[in-house]
Structures are given as structure tokens and as C-alpha cells.
Amino acid sequence: MLLSFHGARSLYVIAHITGSEMQAFLVLALLPLASSQLSTFDVSCYEESDKGKAYKGLMTSTTSGRTCQNWLKDMPHSISIDPSSSNGLGNHNYCRNPDGSEDKPWCYTMDPSPDHEKETCDVPVCPPAARDFVDEANTLATKVAPELDCECAAELYGSTTTTADTKVSLAQTKARKGKIVKGVCRCQK
């Protein structure tokens, strides 16, 4: 049996292969795909409000394309920031902003030139929340069951919440109901 495979850069031809040989072939054939560009999920985004201090994405190169230096190595540049779980530094070369010294995530580069010791990374700013979940829940509740009554005791009689010094007898409160109109409880007086 003759099997051929066209990879991204080469043609593979295999004759008389066994199961384990096929596994090895697939691993080698798919290896170039694994080292492709990071997805937007892997790159993630950073919050502009904290200048990327909480960024935990997988970006490993700077905006200029230089590879980031491992945060635990002192070559080619000496790193004076100690790694911790709170600053995201460790045995990796991902972009971070552990000290808030830049406006976005950055890293020390593998370029030995002092001019390129530290550079920012091309990590996008996170977009604002596209949805208001509380408002959506209220709107949905109104659409699903607009006929449901709502409690109006607090609006009509003041709060019925008690403390150690006060108590409100259940018999003192009359159960008045209202109707939900456009997501707001409208009490009937």
C-alpha cells in the first residue's frame, strides 16, 4: 500500500506502514501546524484600566517581532523582578506587565542590544462588555411572564425588613400586588 501526504511545505510518501509507524508519521506531519500563529483566544486581550497587569495570555513576541526572554533567565538581560503567582511571572516567556511600568504587556527580549532590552507586545485591548446581563434578564422576565404580580409592600408601607429593635407583625401588612410594566413593578393604589 502506498500512501502520500501533501504537507504545508513538502510531500510525504509512505509504503507498507504499521499502526505505530502511522502514529509517528501523523505526529511529524502535523507538527508544523502546531507551531503556527497563536489564535486570538491564546493571545487574549488586556484591560486598559490596569495597563495589562492582570494579563495572562500566551503572547511570546514583541510588537517588533523580537522573541521574549524567559522570566527566570538572566541572559541576555538581567531581570530584577521576582516571579510570583500574583504577577504572572514564572518559567515562561509570555508578555506581562508585572510592575505596571508600561501602558500594556511587555517583556525582556532575546536581543542582546541594550536598545532592545524591554519592548511592549502586540496584545489588543479588551473590548467593553457588549451585553448588560442584568437588563437582559429583567427584559426577558417581562417578556416571558408579563402577567406576574410583584410585591408592593415596601413601596406602599416602607421596608418590612426588621432588626433586633423593630418588628412588624405579618398581620399588620396587607398583601398588595402590582403589575410589572416594562420591567418595573407598578403598584396599584
For residue 79, the model assigns a pLDDT of 95
What is the per-residue pLDDT across 163-177, written as a single tens digit (0 to 9) for each?
Answer: 666 655 555 555 556
Tell me what pLDDT residue 153 has: 57
Residue 1 is predicted with a pLDDT of 42
Q: 3-class DSSP state for residue 27?
A: helix
Position 17 scores a pLDDT of: 58
- The rounded distance, in Å, linking the Cα atoms of 176 and 127 is 44
CA-derived radius of gyration, the chain: 30
Looking at residue 136, what is its pLDDT? 84
Q: Within the chain, which residues score under 70 in pLDDT?
A: 1-22, 24-37, 145-181, 183, 187-189
Give the residue from 175, 184, 120 showing the smallest Cα distance to 153: 175
According to the model, what pLDDT value does residue 134 have? 83
Q: What is the pLDDT of residue 10?
A: 45
* CA atoms 93, 98, 101, 104: torsion sign: positive
> For 52-81, b where at least 16 C-beta lie within 10 A, e where not — what string?
bbebebebbbbeeebebbbbeeeeebebee
Determine contact, residues 62/121, Cβ cutoff 8 Å.
yes
Q: What is the pLDDT of residue 178?
A: 65
pLDDT at 140: 80
Structure confidence at residue 39 (pLDDT): 77
Q: Looking at residue 7, what is its pLDDT?
A: 47
Ordered by where they begin, the domains of the chain are 2-34 (no CATH), 37-128 (2.40.20.10), 133-187 (no CATH)
Query: Which residues, including other chains, have CB under 8 Å from residue 72's CB and lie 6 or more apart?
Result: 79, 83, 89, 90, 91
pTM: 0.51
